[in-house]
Amino acid sequence: MNKEQQREYIKCALDFEYWAETYLKVENKMLGDGVYIPLKITNNQKKVVETYQKESFVCISKYRQAAVTTLTCAYTAHKIVFSENLKIALIANKLGLAKEELLVKVVTFIEGIPEWMQPGKNDEKGKFILYDKDSDYYKIFKGNGCHLKALAAGKQGLRGYSVNLAVIDECGFFEFGQQFWQAASGSLIGGGSCIMISTPNSLDSFYYPTVEGAKNKTNKFKYVEIQWYDDERYNVGLRWVKGYNTIDTRTPKTLQELKDLKNQGIDVIETTDPKIYKDLIKKGYNPESDWFIETCKGFNWDRKKIAQELQLSFLGSGNNFIDEKYLQEQEKINVQEPIRYEYIDRNFWVWEDPIPDQKYIISIDVSSGRGEDNSAINILKILENGVEQVAEYNGKIPPEILGEIGYHYAIKYNDAYCIVDVTGSYGVPTMQKILEYGYKNVHYSKIRQSEIKSQFDQFIKNEDDVPGFIIGTNRGLMLMELERVFRSNEIIVRSTRLISELKNFLSVDSPNRVADHRRSTHDDIIMSVALALHVLSSSMKIVQESSDRSKKLLDAWINPKNLPANQEKYQDIIKQQRGKTGNPYQDNSWLFK
């Protein structure tokens, strides 16, 4: 390296932006495959780089075509070139993605700069050698001992590989995000540094809580949000529109057409002044530009894709069975810390002690007590216009012990109406234990499976009337009622555990299942609540059996097992059952007085 090169080397080491724009090139596919142009750092991207240089832990939400991943690869290449003995992990959901989307880009940048600047070394024969180790997924640079490794985000974290910097791409889509981070965070040398990049993917269990923690300053991360309307490439002709939503109408209008509709309450402001963007958004203005409109057309006006790829919205960007906005409303208004943690494992959470003469329903979803599934108990207070969660259990215990717990709390909460899921016979020992203690206020169903009936011989009422409930084909109806109750704001949720399960409970294309949990997550608490709501809305048997009025009502009601799976028909039947308002708690409030 001559003196001029030494001066240039020092300048590049101290100024990432100069180095990147002077020496790096990126492929521009708009000009054709294999066409490379000098890298240009936008104003948006400069904000990202400044954050990287100031903060050790950074999480970034980005829009489509923001090129933040490419920028981060350039930043990583700079760290490799101008450091010594640095270890960097490049992490994606799959190993192939980590290699192609991250490692290959970093290596391409490094191999594209002048040889005298590359972190290599001449061998004894004077031949320049860049790598001490060179494999498809792992590079060690000969000149400065820096390491670069591509890894998949699995449950084992970094698999024992300690690093100074972890670059994690599209972490909102990781299958085992929480497990990965719990294992990987301990592999950061001396606390290390971490960069997380992603577009939103609903209220996922890893990236979303990381972003929320960064916003609320409850974790180490600094949050950066990169909006398309701040990007000079895409905000040409930017206008802010109030009173007309192009995404809803799918009918774009020219600037002049929008201005001509001013007398209809539509207002348009033309500005690219970032200082007033937040104020405009608060006032109800929506940004759009020609690029934005064309990109929305490319998405076929798919609201989910637009929310995810352009609007950086965690709300509406996923496939959650319960709309995310209802979950956030519950979190903001209703979710509370329990007043007590009971039972020996402290997994029985209590928010409210029983109130004299108040009606309660207790539902029990039973697992084997082994494996990954938990058992769940929920106690709901019956209100005139819905239900309120007052206690909840979630843990791994044998079914017989679960029956003892269920009996204790059913008695405690004013002889609560008790429903036990006996699907697959797991709940049979639980139900038997409750009945052996002499508890009478239990739910009976039409159950014809001989293997279940035979275990309740002394408790069977009329032929097929067996204590307990089999979910089976009722699952779809149960979940539809669950969704309706959330949408209609007829439930008060207190539990963070229930909200957490619901955030990972997704709609599925199956008429019987309707929705299911993500892999590595659970739905035990969800099903215990859905069980209670279904029985409550379709049979209303929580009233005392001595009530003549309730008997007349119950005789006229349809058994839930006879309800068809068709959703529209289901809604009609439920409306007939509920009365004029469609709210079972309001229409039948006289039953609980």
Span 256-314, pLDDT tens digits: 999 998 889 899 999 999 999 989 988 889 999 999 999 999 999 988 888 888 988 87
The confidence score (pLDDT) of residue 318 equals 66
* Dist. CA 393–CA 205, nearest whole Å: 21
pLDDT of residue 586: 57
Residues 302, 225 share a domain: no
Q: Residue 320 domain-assigned?
A: no
CA dihedral (116, 121, 125, 131) in degrees, to 10, reads: -120
| CATH value at residue 151 | 3.40.50.300
Instruction: Say whether both 443 and 550 belong to one domain.
Output: yes
CA separation, residue 209 to residues 182, 216, 503 (Å): 13, 10, 11
For the stretch 68-118, pLDDT in tens is 999 999 999 999 999 999 999 999 999 999 999 999 999 999 999 999 999
**CA pair distance 296, 294, nearest whole angstrom:** 5
- In this structure, the answer to whether residues 341 and 392 fall within a common structural domain is yes
pTM, entire model: 0.63
Is 322 domain-assigned?
A: no
Residues of the chain with pLDDT under 70: 315-318, 369-371, 453, 461-464, 520, 539-593
> What pLDDT does 365 receive?
95
Distance CA 487, CA 334 (A): 15
Is position 314 within any domain?
A: no
User: Is 259 in the same domain as 184?
Assistant: no
pLDDT of residue 187: 81
Which CATH number characterizes residue 462's domain? 3.30.420.240
Asked whether residue 253 falls in the same domain as residue 151, the answer is no
pLDDT value, residue 539:
65
Which residue is listed with tokens 């190993």?
95
**Chosen domain end from 182, 211, 229:** 229
Residues in the chain: 593
Residues 297 and 444 in one domain: no
Domain-embedded: residue 52:
yes
| Closest alpha carbon to 375 in 491, 179, 205, 523 | 523
User: What are 545's two structure tokens?
Assistant: 């059996």
Does residue 379 lie in a domain region? yes
Q: How many domains does the chain have?
A: 3
Q: How far is CA 132 from the centre of its chain?
A: 42
- 221 shares its domain with 83: yes
In a domain, 344, yes or no: yes
Are 393 and 484 in the same domain? Answer: yes
Last residue of a domain, one of 229, 254, 286: 229
**Residue 583: per-residue pLDDT:** 61
One domain for residues 40 and 79: yes
Specify the pLDDT at position 581: 55
Same domain, 215 and 300: no
Q: Domain range for residue 213?
A: 3-229
Do 493 and 392 share a structural domain?
A: yes
Residue at token pair 């699907």: 423
What are the C-alpha distances in Å from 8 to residues 21, 120, 201? Answer: 14, 17, 43
Q: Which of 184, 207, 229 is the last residue of a domain?
A: 229
Cα dist. 449→423, 442, 470 in Å? 10, 19, 10
Is residue 445 in some structural domain? yes
Alpha-carbon torsion, ordered 293, 299, 301, 306, to 10 deg? -80
pLDDT of residue 343: 93
| Residues 32 and 125 grouped into a single domain | yes
- The answer as to whether 355 is a domain residue is yes
